[in-house]
């Protein structure tokens, strides 16, 4: 029986997450599996990967073949490096202490890279929010200026209309001039 380490799809349409499973290669993608090793969620930034490191290493040592995507995930988490270092120990090329030291150095470097990436993503997100806010403020100021101009124009029209109305009432209130007498009378 050929055993594969692969992804089993779960989640909603267009919002998938995956279980990392060990399954017979003849089984359907989302069908029966031997063991669940972890979860992979590509919807988060950076992608969330939860993996049972020791069980994945054990299955690789037993001969399970990872698919391309799971190979990348296992490499990202360091399982393949650990298998490689264990092979060096078995061949006598490395001592267990040297292998552990190399692995711990790799883990420290990986954590630094991940934290740097998260910080960069947070900075980009905050910069994007700041630029969005400043653009919104500029739009708000332009709208306020337009409203102020319209109010000023409206006030000017109202003052002009009031002046015309006042002139008209003064004209009505003023006594009409007396008709001049004609000489023919």
User: Can you tell me which residue has the tokens 């100021």?
Assistant: 141
Residue 177 banded pLDDT, cuts 50, 70, 90: low
pTM (2 d.p.) = 0.67
Q: How many whole angstroms separate alpha carbon 30 and alpha carbon 23?
A: 10
pLDDT number for residue 27: 86
pLDDT number for residue 112: 93
Domains and CATH numbers, the chain: 3-79 (3.30.1320.10)
pLDDT at 174 over 70: no
The per-residue pLDDT for range 6-36, each reduced to its tens digit, is 999 999 999 999 999 999 988 888 888 999 9
pLDDT number for residue 35: 93
* Average pLDDT value over all residues in the chain: 89
pLDDT at 185 over 70: no
Consecutive H or E run containing 181: none
The per-residue pLDDT for range 92-115, each reduced to its tens digit, is 888 999 999 999 999 999 999 989
CB neighbour list of residue 50: distance below 8 Å, 6 or more residues apart = 38, 39
The per-residue pLDDT for range 69-91, each reduced to its tens digit, is 999 999 999 999 999 999 999 99
The answer to whether 59 touches 3, Cβ cutoff 8 Å, is yes
């Amino acid at each position: 029986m050929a055993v594969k380490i692969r992804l089993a799809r779960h989640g909603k349409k267009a919002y998938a997450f995956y279980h990392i499973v060990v399954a017979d290669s003849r089984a359907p993608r989302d069908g029966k599996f031997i063991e669940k090793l972890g979860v992979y969620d590509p919807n988060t930034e950076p992608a969330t990967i939860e993996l049972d490191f020791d069980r994945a290493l054990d299955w690789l040592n037993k001969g399970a073949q990872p698919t391309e995507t799971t190979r990348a995930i296992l490499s990202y988490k360091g399982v393949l490096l650990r298998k490689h270092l264990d092979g060096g120990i078995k061949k006598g090329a490395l001592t267990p202490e040297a292998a552990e030291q190399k692995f711990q150095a790799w883990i420290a470097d990986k954590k630094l890279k991940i934290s740097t990436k998260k910080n960069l993503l947070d900075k980009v997100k905050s910069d994007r929010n700041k630029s969005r806010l400043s653009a919104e403020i500029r739009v708000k100021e332009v709208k306020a200026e337009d409203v102020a101009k319209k109010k000023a124009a409206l006030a000017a029209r109202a003052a002009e209309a009031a002046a015309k109305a006042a002139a008209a009432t003064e004209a009505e209130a003023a006594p009409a001039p007396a008709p001049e007498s004609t000489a023919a009378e």
